[in-house]
Every structure is written in C-alpha cells, then in structure tokens.
Amino acid sequence: MSALNPPGQQMAIACDHGGLALKEYLLSLLTGWGYQVEDLGTNSPDSVDYPDYASRLAAGIAAGRYWCGILVCGTGIGMSMAANRHSGVRAAVCSSTYTARMARAHNDANVLCLGGRVLGLGEAEDIMRTFLEGRFEGGRHQRRIEKIDSAADKEG
C-alpha cells in the first residue's frame, strides 16, 4: 500500500486501555505502509479516560495538524462521541468495510473509530485500509456536510 498522506501532513492514532492492543497492531501496519503517524497514546494497559485521547486527536484535526485520525476504544462508540464534539471533525464508528467506504464516500469522515473488543485484527486491518483508500464523492453529499459544519458552528 502506498502512503496517501497529503505532502507534509501527518495522521494521528490514539486509544484508551480497551483499544491498546489493536492500536499497536494498526500503528505497525500504518508505518509499514509508509504513513507518517503520530501516536497520541495511551501506551499502557492502565485504565484511562477515553475523552482525553479522543479530544487530543480531534483538536489536532480541527487545527489542521493531522489530515485524518484513528481512534480505538473497546467499541469505538465512546471515542466517536467525544471526537465529534469538535468542529470540523467527522468521526465514524466502522464495523465493516462497507461502513468504512460509506463513511468516506458520503460523509467525508476524517476520523475512523474502531472497537478493540469487538473486531479481530484482520477485520480491523481491512476496515482501516478501506477507510484510508476511500474518497469523498462530493456532489449531493457536500451540502449535507456543510449542514453538519454549520450546525457545529452555531453551537460553538
């Protein structure tokens, strides 16, 4: 797989204790594929609060430091909820290659959320690969993304 990072930009990955093993596996794949990845933790099996790690990654996306991110917790749900509180972040929990493809094509998702306790390594790898290879279709989907961004701006 060839690296798809936009020139000079990194992606980021983070997890809580429930996603540590899967994060480590995915990080090794990403670096092997040539991606520039910043590991935002956690790097310990000790219990941590997932919103801290989701917010760190999401803030980097919102600030333009990362072109995309991957978050891993037990189910992916908590991470997505916390990340989506940040303007400009569209975090999607994906449990199949189809949901990953649609998250990119129709929702222009820029953060992939995975569940370390619900996905096997091979399945997670396939989902991540599909997400990273996906492209936003634009068109009728663009106005929907604009509505999401507009609603976030009104609340912020």
Q: Identify the CA nearest to 60 among candidates 11, 107, 133, 93.
A: 11
Q: Which amino acid is at 48?
A: V
| Confidence grade of residue 2 (pLDDT, cut at 50, 70, 90) | very low
Structure tokens belonging to residue 15: 């997890």
- Residue 7: pLDDT band by 50, 70, 90 thresholds? low
Phi then psi dihedrals of residue 116, to 5 deg? -70, -20
Of the two residues 3 and 11, the one the predictor is more confident about is 11
Domains of the chain, first to last: 10-155 (3.40.1400.10)
pLDDT digits (tens, 9 = 90+) for 64-79: 999 999 999 999 999 9
| Partners of residue 120 on adjacent β-strands | none
pLDDT beyond 70 at 8: no
CB 131 within 8 A of CB 104: yes
Q: How sure is the predictor about 156, in pLDDT bands with cuts at 50, 70 and 90?
A: low
> pTM score, two decimals?
0.91
Residues marked active site are found at: 73, 106
* pLDDT at residue number 29: 97
pLDDT higher than threshold 80 for residue 151: no
Condensed to tens digits (0 to 9), the pLDDT of residues 95-146 reads 999 999 999 999 999 999 999 999 999 999 999 999 999 987 777 787 788 7
| Each residue's pLDDT tens digit, 16-62 | 999 999 999 999 999 999 999 999 999 999 999 999 999 999 999 99
Residue 3 pLDDT grade (very low, low, confident, very high; cuts 50, 70, 90):
very low
